[in-house]
Amino acid sequence: MKKDFFNVLSVQEFIQALHSFSPLQTRTVSIEEADNSVLANDIIATEDLPLASRSCMDGYAVNASSVFGASEANPAYLESVGDIDIEKPASFTLQSGECAGIVTGGILPDGADAVIMVEHTESLGAGTIEIRKSLAPYENVMLKGEDATTGNSVLAAGTRMRPQEIGMLAALGIQKVAVTTSPKVGIISTGDELVSIEETPVVGQVRDVNSYTLAACARRAGATATAYGLVEDQLDSLQAALEKALEENDVVFLSGGSSVGVRDLTVSAIEKIEGAELINHGVAISPGKPLILAKCGNKAIWGLPGQVASAQVVMFILGMPFLRYLGGDTASFDQTRWASKQAIISRNVASKPGREDYVRVSVSEKDGTTVATPVLGKSGLLKTMLQADGVVRIGADSEGIYEGTPVDVLFF
């Protein structure tokens, strides 16, 4: 006899439940190790960057008022008082009608507020420089403190580190930073019909896909992933695998065994784990309604659908943001921050009120318009994910989308 779904949550209720888990502890790393980690604390500048106003290019330091109205037809003429060394400030102050040679990175002398590119000048000899372009104040100049000002935050806690953030740390002389520990993820695949990818399946068998796709999703979210192999549809075997994975990881993703059926043992296995609390069995989302979540201390157990496309969509919408959240990105569920693009839906798409639908779509350009074309297909078909560039969300209060409606495509 089949059981009913237990405690089906809305997507927002499910996300609220995920926020009952705490981000992981912090650790200190060198900036060489910080790439793709998430800052645990704000970074406060201890000095101005740059330390002084500097030139953005080779040319002449000038006061913009001295070249007001200058053009090819009406050049200005200034007297050069020398060249500025890049490694030290000038020892002189520019007066009206004067300029000084400067290279990229050179410090502007007192009296200068702009730099004219060398391409717009010509030396006429005897120190006279012809200027063939007018300038606005501060043009071609990096101002003192423009990148960072002493005492102000330059990077906020929760920032995921990229090469450009690491460059800012290096420029400020910061060698070590506190980051949130990356989640450790265990992957378990269940089902007597599954065989390893090294084997040749016979009719009734399929190769294990989810161990690889879920691990790849976890790594994309900044986690480390360990696959624990295939587990047969036996309660004791599943419980043992789950206990081992839970002991060694912060999150366990178990695919298969979450829908309502006589061989679906995930709930039973979770209930036998000491200290585990079942939060829900079902989320009002399509694909992925059979989604299970349980909590054991601050460790999470997810029961994902076994169908390959469903498992990947659930990971994209909920699983990967959760891993980023544990890793310190507390705004990871905010879809307005995700890579997206507005497009026009190419056909009517029906939806069932009361659940969020995530429709796989491909994106193309047609007559200057971005078009999202639904990729329809069963949740067990891999090709729907290969053909799709992302998904379009249909809200739980909607009966669908009409052809020609603007939609936001969330890119994979």
Give the domain CATH number at 36: 3.90.105.10
**Same domain membership, residue 197 and residue 72:** no
Q: Report the pLDDT value the prediction gives residue 380, as an integer from 0 to 100.
A: 75
At 264, is the pLDDT very low, low, confident or very high (cuts 50, 70, 90)? low
Buried b / exposed e along 275-314 (16+ C-beta atoms within 10 A): ebebbbbbbbbbbbbbbbbbbbeebbbbbbbbbbbbbbbb
- Domain residues for 166? 32-48+149-180
Regarding whether 153 and 138 lie in a shared domain, the answer is no
Whether 361 is covered by a domain: the verdict is: yes
Tell whether 198 and 241 lie within a shared domain.
Answer: yes
Residue 101 bridge partners (DSSP): 60, 83
User: Which burial class, exposed, middle or buried, applies to 402 when counting CB atoms under 10 A from its CB (0-12, 13-18, 19+)?
Assistant: exposed
> CB-hemisphere CA count at 13 Å for 112?
35
* Residue 252 located in a structural domain: yes
Is the residue at 3 inside a domain? no
Tell me the per-residue pLDDT of 156-189, one tens digit each, with 9 for 90 and over.
999 999 999 999 999 999 999 999 999 999 999 9
Same domain, 189 and 265: yes
Distances 290 to 5, 246, 392, 396 between C-alpha atoms, Å: 8, 21, 20, 17
Q: What pLDDT, on the 0 to 100 scale, is given for residue 6?
A: 64
Q: What is the pLDDT of residue 385?
A: 93
Whether 260 shows a pLDDT value over 90: the answer reads no
Task: Report which of residues 377 and 58 the model is more confident about.
Answer: 58
Last residue of a domain, one of 158, 180, 202: 180
Q: How confident is the model at residue 377 (pLDDT cuts 50, 70, 90)?
A: confident
Looking at 130, 161, 180, which one is the last position of a domain?
180
Residues 168 and 196 in one domain: no
Count of domains in the chain? 4
- Flag whether 235 is in a domain: yes
Spatial distance between the Cα atoms of 349 and 346, rounded to a whole number of angstroms: 9
Strand partners, 89: none
pLDDT of amino acid 1: 35
Q: Are 224 and 185 in contact (CB under 8 A)?
A: yes
Are 190 and 285 within one domain?
A: yes
- pLDDT of 257 reads 60
CA dist 151 → 44, 49, 168, 176, 236 (Å): 6, 12, 15, 18, 58
Q: Does 271 reside within a domain?
A: yes
pLDDT band for position 2 (cuts 50, 70, 90) = very low
Evaluate whether residue 6 is within a structural domain. Answer: no
pLDDT at 4: 47
- CATH number of residue 341's parent domain: 2.40.340.10
Q: Which of 305, 333, 361 is the last residue of a domain?
A: 333
Co-location of 213 and 329 in the same domain: yes
233: pLDDT confidence band, cut at 50, 70 and 90? confident
Per-residue confidence (pLDDT) for residue 232, from 0 to 100: 87
DSSP β-bridge partners for residue 44: 153
The answer to whether residues 330 and 158 touch, using CB atoms and an 8 Å cutoff, is yes
310 and 215 share one domain: yes
- Mean pLDDT of the residues in the chain: 93
**Is the backbone of residue 63 left (phi > 0), alpha (psi -120 to 50) or beta?**
beta
SS3 for 31-90, per residue? HHHCCCCEECCCEECCCCECCCCEECCCEEEECHHHHCCCCCCCCEEEEEEEECCCCCCC
Regarding whether 158 and 20 lie in a shared domain, the answer is no
**Residue 261: both structure tokens together:** 């059926």
Burial class (CB in 10 A: 0-12, 13-18, 19+), 349: buried
Contact 304, 311 (CB under 8 A): yes
Eight-state DSSP code of residue 23: P
Write the CATH number for 285. Answer: 3.40.980.10
pLDDT at 59: 97
Same domain, yes or no, for 264 and 371? no
Kindly state whether residue 137 falls inside one of the protein's structural domains: yes
pLDDT number for residue 381: 82
For residue 64, is it within any domain? yes
Rounded percentage of the chain residues whose pLDDT exceeds 70? 97
Q: How confident is the model over 19-26, as a mean pLDDT?
A: 96
Residues 95 and 192 in one domain: no
Q: Are residues 109 and 167 in the same domain?
A: no
pLDDT tens per residue across span 270-326? 999 999 999 999 999 999 999 999 999 999 999 999 899 999 999 999 999 999 999
Mean of the pLDDT values across residues 1-29? 86
Q: How far apart are CA 52 and CA 109, in angstroms?
A: 10
Q: What is the CATH number of the domain that holds 119?
A: 2.170.190.11
Q: What is the pLDDT of residues 387-410, one digit of tens each?
A: 999 999 999 999 999 999 999 999
